[in-house]
Amino acid sequence: MDTLSIGAISAWRQQQIAQQVGIAVLKKSMDIQAEGALPLVQMAAQAMSTAPTVAAIPDAAVGQTLDIFA
């Protein structure tokens, strides 16, 4: 084997390792985001279930409720 082939193989292996590390970091980042998003979704669902209903007189309820759309 000549020096050029050994260098190319070494560079290829380094690239493969860098790619594997990048994928591992991406997976960890996605896991962290999923962990943070779940409580937000649960809080929104809870807020929607406990939201006050609109009063029978529309003028009395103006500015008293907040509509939440998911």
Domain locations along the chain: 3-52
Position of tokens 């500015």?
63
Q: Is the confidence at residue 64, as pLDDT, over 80?
A: no
User: Mean pLDDT across the stretch 37-43?
Assistant: 86
Higher pLDDT, 23 or 50: 23
Going from the C-alpha of 30 to that of each of 34, 37, 40, the distances in angstroms are 6, 10, 16
Q: What is the model's pTM?
A: 0.51
Going from the C-alpha of 4 to that of each of 14, 15, 16, 47, the distances in angstroms are 15, 16, 18, 64
What is the spatial distance between Cα 35 and Cα 28, in angstroms, rounded to a whole number? 11
Higher pLDDT, 5 or 4: 5
